[in-house]
Amino acid sequence: MVAGPMAAMLCADLGAEVVKVEQPKGGDRMRLLGHRVGGVGALWAGVNRGKRSLVVDLQRPGGVAVLRDLVATSDVFIQNFRPGVAARLGIDEDALRSVNSHLVYVSVSGFGESGPYIDQKSYDYVIQMLSGMAALQGGDGPPQLIRNIVIDKVTAMTATQSILAALLARERGSGGQHIRLSMIDTALAFLWPDGMMQHALLDTDRVTPGPHMADDYVVRPTSDSFLAMIATSNSQWPGLCAALDRPEWLTDPRFATLADREANAEVLSDLITVEVARHDGRTLVEALHSHDVPCALSNPVHEVHLDPQVRHNDILVEHERPWLGTVREPKPPARFSVTPTSLGRHAPKLDEHTDEILAELGRTPDDIAALRAAGDIGPRR
């Protein structure tokens, strides 16, 4: 619902011509989630910009024939079905490679193409629970979900990265290939370096125990806001003591060295929390920054676009989009010195470009009318 479509959108951001293929009855059901304009939700629009919409009925041979014609002139095909669905529709790798031997075929699934879970539906929150990510967020308490489809999005980014690598390999003579990507595998690869840092070195008789860096990820209330900071290194510790006006901590034997502070981390964390609560947020941040201690106050979501650095970077743009009206959205974050990216076209209305794409494939107006009459493509809107 997001991982495959967002991967294609990221390709569009980098200059690819992308066609989104949807079913005739209602199209992608993600269109209806969240705030909506004209029946289309902001989330759907946010992961489908830069595309054209083609509506075909893949349950009908005529619809599959249209898709095969499109694939014949394409570089990449991305499908986000559960295992087995593409084969039942006649659009699996073997079927499409028969019309395009150089195709990069991408399968994105929740759990992979075999195993005990492949018949289960998979969503971001399911993978967060299974991968250990929710347990990590909960710490010593109950598991907590990240309130964001982080697994969907990192899977999309990994898919785009893999597509670009496959295209480069093809340019170097390797031909087309099949990229298989699962959300559970991507989640574990994403989580592992820091999230599983205490479960990676298995020769326990040789390992020196140390704290988990997740324990430093604490949000503390100030008198009027919320603050995050981490200042455990020897270079930052004196600055923290100065900013909080606690010079006596520098001579406290419990906190004399980094090892001492790690050994007494719970006591120190409680002391810092009490001191932070005595200060107003902006004054404290200024003091911490003056002593080179990394920190930030929490930006409310409705004010993030007003942050001075965000405004300076010009990452968010407000502009008019056809049929959507005024839209605020991020530009592609990578800045290329020679081949700059752009936001490209608006997210399409359902069936907006079907006639246009079919004409490019050589279908005449009479052919297109016949396809509509047969139900192979969507009805005219």
3-state secondary structure of 41: strand
* Tally of CA atoms within 13 A in the half-sphere of 223 that contains its CB: 8
Alpha-helical (H) ranges within 252-364 are 258-263, 265-276, 281-290, 308-313, 354-360
Residue tagged active-site, from 13, 57, 152, 355: 152
Per the listing, tokens 């592609």 go with 332
Q: Is residue 95 within a helix (H) or strand (E), and if so which, with residue range?
A: helix 93-97
Catalytic annotation present for 152: yes
Run of H or E including 156: helix 150-171
Among the listed residues 154, 172, 10, the one whose alpha carbon sits nearest the alpha carbon of residue 76: 10
CA distances from 192 to 139, 141, 162, 197, 307 (A): 16, 21, 19, 7, 31
Burial of 13 (0-12, 13-18, 19+ CB in 10 A): buried
Which active-site residues does the annotation give?
152
